Chain A
Amino acid sequence: MKFVDEFRDGALARGLAARIAAEVQPGRRYAFMEFCGGHTHAISRYGIAELLPPQVRMIHGPGCPVCVLPIGRIDLAIGLALERGAIVCTYGDTMRVPASGNLSLLKAKARGGDIRMVYSAADALKIAAAHPGREVVFLAIGFETTTPPTALAILAAERQGLANFSVLCCHVLTPSAITHILESAEVREYGTVPIDGFVGPAHVSIVIGSAPYEHFADEYAKPVVIAGFEPLDVMQAVLMLVRQVNEGRAEVENQFTRAVTREGNLAAQRMVAQVFGLRSSFEWRGLGEVPYSALAIRPAYARFDAEQRFGLAYRPVPDHKNCECGAILRGVKRPADCKLFGTVCTPETPMGSCMVSSEGACAAHYSYGRFRDIPVRVEPAAEPVQP
């Protein structure tokens, strides 16, 4: 596949790995945080952690929109299905998020809630058009990548004059997440966050451009390298970050030049600005209330705003008291540090946000990496494997 396979070449990977190993300063530790589901996935699926020298540690930040969706929001969606009889449409992973009363959207579906998995906002729109007598609500989650499609859906609903379609908007903003990690009150509780630099998200940056990250480099003196979502992209970005740290630089660099520009996708940004405005505050699971970090639907489109349409009142719900997601999302603790990891909390029975989606730090570690925590007695194969 063009522009895909070349970015996964094993030989180039070894070369890059060797280059990184050659350039890390002995005795120095490097911790880089990525907050992009695509990066978490690439690192896990391709086993990148193994290719990096031991001094380099990759931290999974809050890049998984499903993981940072608070219990209270899921409760609202469940209520719409079970109590108000609405057809609730959502992405697959959202269905398994555990909410209050031992429910999830999947369990609510088993109880008779009309809850449907869709691949995009446009699918939800089609369902609304096909069922004019029923209320249809799209549970819109995601960072800046999925926000433009939601905007398009609302604009299309307006054009089509749909009277039964609304959106429960839980869209969140990436730069706010980073600021919060670097600045929050909880930093006092958890200790200084040992982050030397950031790997900037791939898809989000295509939409918002590289400009929004210049603030972090300046304000917090942390380098940011925006990386593509293929494994070689991630490795090159790590090399670029190592170089910045070694040279004492704190700049925004773009590794993903083939898709990311400084301004980003202006057409998409315009559409988002037309339909959405900033919320003054929004609860992120694991991070608490984060100011100016999420979007709400503008008054002009109020009839498509499920919160207004159904008069919904948000009630925050705390996580399990032993859940360490907050610390894990900040990179202060690792999944294996959490008492619940792998026992009470597994991908099948997730207790907290980091385990819910396959892109969450704990889920990724459980599926792809936990074998490294446990000393495994490996017996060499009797014969070498010949492909």
Chain B
Amino acid sequence: MKKDYQRPLDLRSGRIDLNHGAGGRAACQLVDELFGRAFDNEFLGQGNDGALLPAPPELLEGGRLVMSCDGHVVSPIFFPGGDLGSLAVHGTVNDVAMLGARPLYLSASFILEEGYPLADLKRLVDSMAAASRAAGVPVVTGDTKVVEQGKGDGVFIATTGVGVVPRGRVIGGAMARPGDAVLVSGSIGDHGVAVLSRRESLEFETAIQSDSAALHGLVGAMLAAVPEGSVHVLRDPTRGGLATTLNEIARQSGIGMHLEEAAIPVKPQVDAACELLGLDPLYVANEGKLVAVVAPGHADAVLAAMRAHPLGAEAARIGSVVADDHRFVQMATRFGGRRVVDWLTGEQLPRIC
């Protein structure tokens, strides 16, 4: 009998079963062979249920901690331009970045459904690990649970992100002021359409890709281009799309907005797909875009910094903040009329984030 021999996971044709969540040998093996190997960093390597983390320099200089969490339930799990795993990394890194914070660490909790193929799980986890490495934000701690077949949709992932914001920086939804410029970092509607078109079996000559991406590099470039305090609001328009995000900001800041429809970038293919699917791109989710509300004197500099960055090449100024007790987001249509861009009513698309 060979000492210390453990038959490796059958990553080709094996499936998740209830043992993998039971906390015993099988569970340990799953963590080591699949998750551990993929995420592989010094903190995970500590081998404890929690990770011991050093205090970042900004904190010691009077900065503040930022923490954010997200649940990810996208269906289908694999879609053009991304998957549940990379989405889970990007989504939480972005939430932290939207406060002007430097993202530091991630935790990841997996709820796995009995019967889910290990090959798919490996593909997912490898993608997640690649996204984490590319972003420079390691997954330092995690958890796995298994639920019975029929009680989960393959895989659900919940991530929490921790970051740090330097002393004195206040960026948030309540900071927009009349006169501010409203900027967007690129074309809207890509992610939602990529996911939905896969679901509805729409075919494209070149598939519409999700724009899923980590935005903290872009944010860093924007903040570096202008004096502290020039960028008032940052937010990524995920569920509910650009329209919802702008309405949220309007409500939080107690202001209104005037937008120019002609200035809002939408890829022609996304436009055509929305037309066919009966969607309004303004309400479709994005996973690699941000909205910035910037003091008028510095808008041009921020826009230039965005356009110089690969993730902001199509950045555009789409409108302005105005004083408005009713907090309407109004838009001048391409057609020449005016309309209100209201909150989304009900559920436009099931589970795209």
A contact set with B: CB distance below 8 Å? 1, 4, 8, 10, 13-14, 17, 44-51, 96, 231, 347-348, 358, 363, 366-371, 374, 376-379, 381-383, 385-387
A47 CB contact (under 8 Å) in B296, B317, B333, B346: B333
The verdict on B42 contacting chain A, using a C-beta distance below 8 Å, is no
**24 examples of A-B residue contacts, CB within 8 angstroms:** A8-B334, A10-B335, A13-B335, A46-B339, A47-B335, A47-B338, A48-B335, A48-B337, A50-B337, A50-B338, A51-B337, A347-B345, A363-B345, A368-B340, A369-B340, A371-B340, A376-B256, A378-B322, A379-B178, A379-B323, A381-B258, A381-B319, A387-B262, A387-B317
Q: How far is the CA of A383 from the CA of B333 in the complex (A)?
A: 19
B325 CB contact (under 8 Å) in A1, A45, A377: A377
The 5 A-B residue pairs with the shortest CB-CB distance in the complex, in nearest-first order: A47-B337, A387-B263, A381-B320, A347-B345, A46-B335
Residues of A within 8 A of B70 (CB): none
- Cβ of A385 and Cβ of B335 under 8 Å apart? no
Residues of B within 8 A of A370 (CB): 340
A52 to chain B: closest residue by CB: B337
Smallest CB separation, A18 vs chain B (Å): 11
Residues of A within 8 A of B323 (CB): 377, 379
Residues of A within 8 A of B346 (CB): 96, 347-348
The verdict on B181 contacting chain A, using a C-beta distance below 8 Å, is yes
Residue-wise interface mask of B (264-303) relative to A, using a CB-CB cutoff of 8 A (1 in contact, 0 not): 0000100110010000100000000000000010010000
Residues of B within 8 A of A96 (CB): 346
- Cβ of B336 and Cβ of A47 under 8 Å apart? yes
The verdict on B79 contacting chain A, using a C-beta distance below 8 Å, is no
Smallest CB separation, B335 vs chain A (Å): 4
Task: Known contacts A377-B324, A381-B179, A383-B296; decide if A8 and B340 are in contact (CB<8 Å).
Answer: no
Q: How far is the CA of A85 from the CA of B319 in the complex (A)?
A: 51
Residues of B within 8 A of A347 (CB): 345-346
The verdict on B330 contacting chain A, using a C-beta distance below 8 Å, is yes
User: How many interface residues does chain B have, given as a range?
Assistant: 35 or more
A-B contact sample (7 more), CB < 8 A, given A13-B335, A383-B296: A10-B334, A47-B336, A96-B346, A377-B323, A377-B324, A379-B178, A383-B299
The verdict on B32 contacting chain A, using a C-beta distance below 8 Å, is no
- Cβ of A8 and Cβ of B320 under 8 Å apart? no
Smallest CB separation, B172 vs chain A (Å): 21
Residues of A within 8 A of B345 (CB): 347-348, 358, 363, 367
Residues of A within 8 A of B178 (CB): 379
B260 to chain A: closest residue by CB: A385
- Cβ of A49 and Cβ of B179 under 8 Å apart? no
A385 CB contact (under 8 Å) in B275, B320, B330, B342: B320
B321 to chain A: closest residue by CB: A381
Consensus secondary structure, chain B interface: mixed
Smallest CB separation, A247 vs chain B (Å): 27
Residues of B within 8 A of A368 (CB): 339-340, 342
Task: Known contacts A47-B339, A231-B335; decide if A371 and B322 are in contact (CB<8 Å).
Answer: no
Residues of A within 8 A of B332 (CB): 47
The verdict on B328 contacting chain A, using a C-beta distance below 8 Å, is yes
Q: How far is the CA of A370 from the CA of B335 in the complex (A)?
A: 19
Q: How far is the CA of A346 from the CA of B113 in the complex (A)?
A: 39
A16 to chain B: closest residue by CB: B336
Residues of B within 8 A of A376 (CB): 256, 324, 326, 328
Smallest CB separation, A82 vs chain B (Å): 21
Residues of B within 8 A of A382 (CB): 179, 296, 320
Task: Known contacts A376-B326, A383-B181, A385-B260; decide if A13 and B319 are in contact (CB<8 Å).
Answer: no
- Cβ of B333 and Cβ of A46 under 8 Å apart? yes
Residues of A within 8 A of B271 (CB): 1
- Cβ of B337 and Cβ of A49 under 8 Å apart? yes
Residues of B within 8 A of A358 (CB): 345
Residue-wise interface mask of B (130-167) relative to A, using a CB-CB cutoff of 8 A (1 in contact, 0 not): 00000000000000000000000000000000000000
The verdict on B195 contacting chain A, using a C-beta distance below 8 Å, is no
Q: How far is the CA of A376 from the CA of B325 in the complex (A)?
A: 8
Smallest CB separation, B242 vs chain A (Å): 15
B350 to chain A: closest residue by CB: A117
Q: How far is the CA of A88 from the CA of B119 in the complex (A)?
A: 36
Residues of A within 8 A of B263 (CB): 385, 387
- Cβ of A44 and Cβ of B339 under 8 Å apart? yes
- Cβ of A385 and Cβ of B336 under 8 Å apart? no
B277 to chain A: closest residue by CB: A119
Residues of A within 8 A of B272 (CB): 1
- Cβ of A13 and Cβ of B328 under 8 Å apart? no
Q: How far is the CA of A44 from the CA of B331 in the complex (A)?
A: 12
Q: How far is the CA of A360 from the CA of B104 in the complex (A)?
A: 49
B342 to chain A: closest residue by CB: A367
Q: How far is the CA of A348 from the CA of B318 in the complex (A)?
A: 28
Smallest CB separation, B297 vs chain A (Å): 9
- Cβ of B336 and Cβ of A10 under 8 Å apart? yes
Residues of B within 8 A of A371 (CB): 326, 328, 330, 340
Q: How far is the CA of A231 from the CA of B261 in the complex (A)?
A: 15
Residues of B within 8 A of A377 (CB): 323-325
Residues of A within 8 A of B99 (CB): none
The verdict on B316 contacting chain A, using a C-beta distance below 8 Å, is yes
Q: How far is the CA of A45 from the CA of B333 in the complex (A)?
A: 8
A374 to chain B: closest residue by CB: B326
Residues of B within 8 A of A383 (CB): 181, 296, 299, 320
Residues of A within 8 A of B317 (CB): 385-387
**Most chain B Cβ neighbours within 10 Å, of A47, A49, A366, A387:** A47
Smallest CB separation, A2 vs chain B (Å): 10
- Cβ of B339 and Cβ of A45 under 8 Å apart? yes
Q: How far is the CA of A369 from the CA of B332 in the complex (A)?
A: 13
Q: How far is the CA of A47 from the CA of B262 in the complex (A)?
A: 14
